[in-house]
Amino acid sequence: MAKAGKPRIALLATHETTASVLFGLYDVLASAGLVYELMTTGQPGEARLEVTILADTKEPFRCSGNVLIEPHAAIDEVSAADAVVVCDLYTPIDTPPRGRYLREIKWLQQMHRHGTLICSVCIGSLLLAEAGLLDGESCASHWAYADLFRRHYPKVRLRPDSILNLESEAKGLITAGGVTSWQDMALHLIDCYCGREEAVRTAKVHLLGSRSDGQLPFAAMNRHVQKDDAVIASCQTWIAANYQVVNPVAAMVERSGLQPRTFSRRFRAATGYLPMHYVHALRIEEAKQAIETDDSGIDEIGVQVGYEDATFFRRLFKRQVGITPAAYRRKVASVYATR
């Protein structure tokens, strides 16, 4: 296992790796804890994961597509990690990689024995199969390689319909299907090592999951407290903790000591929102987070954030998020569905 500190995830690349998988994984995993805060408050958070790119040697090389890769370390320099992800391999559909990747395979076997979670994306599963790690286990891989698995790895139970296979996770193995399944892998690893909330935040930043409903379901309110108007800034800070109160705008006006019209004018100048629109945006953002993290009923969540009228809450939610609260819950749930 890795040493104490940030969870460490190593991405294993080869000359046959595609850049989209490697750098996609790297960007999303490295952004956990960092980018969402920057997007919503204007201040960067702290990276939650230590992500490194490994290869047989530390020498730069060009992967599939002639894209330059500069590994952070060679595999023999790394003896501990929380998880290793074998990136995809752009390789013939009828030829197993026999006699190849011997050093990588030996290293994967050693890491697995030491308790490291071993993962693969797309045809990266061939390295796990060559290492014998998938013998007797079910496996996700690209559907085009089903016959190769049947012919050359009969002990592996390939599931060509699977996107993210977690059936052997307890044994330290996770496999993902076709090329873009790296997205499902990335979110699952963030969920495992950083928690569900951070995984949802990361999905929002990168628009991961179904995008058929557009961008609004992924959007989050900018909670940056401006500093130009100290009175309004104080009200922003107060309403962030008291958004569910009755008559929130009247309460902020009273706290500000300003006349209602003056308060409204200054609030809009400082934040870009009319006061009540700001409250609505804040409440809906809190409702989204409640839907993401607990199983309370939709109407109950509406009451929690300040809306006694369930119909009004649902209508407002759909106007701001683009889909109904129930559809939003299904969208979030689908991020974690095991397929």
Closest CA to 26 of 237, 34, 77, 254: 34
Which residues, other chains included, contact 116 with Cβ-Cβ below 8 Å and sequence gap of 6+?
1, 2, 80, 81, 82, 83, 84, 172
Say if residue 217's pLDDT is above 70.
yes
Residues 143 and 267: their CA atoms lie apart, in Å, by: 56
Beta bridge partners of 176: 121, 164
The whole-chain average pLDDT of the chain stands at 91
The full set of domains in the chain, from first to last, is: 8-208 (3.40.50.880), 230-335 (1.10.10.60)
pLDDT at 294: 83
* Helix 248-256 × helix 260-271 angle, to 10°: 100
> pLDDT-based confidence at 4, cuts 50/70/90?
low
The tokens for 97 are 């990689």
Q: What is the DSSP string of 73-94?
A: EEGGG----SEEEE------TT
Q: What is the pTM of this model?
A: 0.77
Helix (H) or strand (E) segment spanning residue 271: helix 260-271
Q: Which residues contact 242 (CB under 8 A, 6 or more apart)?
A: 248, 251
Q: Six-digit token pair at 312? A: 């009004």
Which tens digit of pLDDT belongs to each residue from 12-41? 999 999 999 999 999 999 999 999 998 888
Q: pLDDT category, 59, cuts 50, 70, 90?
A: very high
Residues 6+ apart with CB under 8 A from 64: 15, 16, 17, 18, 19, 90
pLDDT tens-digit readout, 164-205: 999 999 999 999 988 789 999 999 999 999 998 999 899 989
Q: What is the pLDDT of residues 227-286, one digit of tens each?
A: 899 999 999 999 999 999 999 999 999 999 999 999 999 999 998 899 999 999 999 999
Supply the pLDDT for residue 202.
93
What distance in Å separates the CA atoms of residue 88 and residue 83, rounded to the nearest whole number? 16
pLDDT at 334 (0 to 100) = 64
**Residue whose entry in the numeric block shows the structure tokens 């300003």:** 258
Lowest-confidence region among 8-17, 38-47, 122-131, 311-320? 38-47
Q: Which residues pair with 85 in a beta bridge?
A: 11, 119
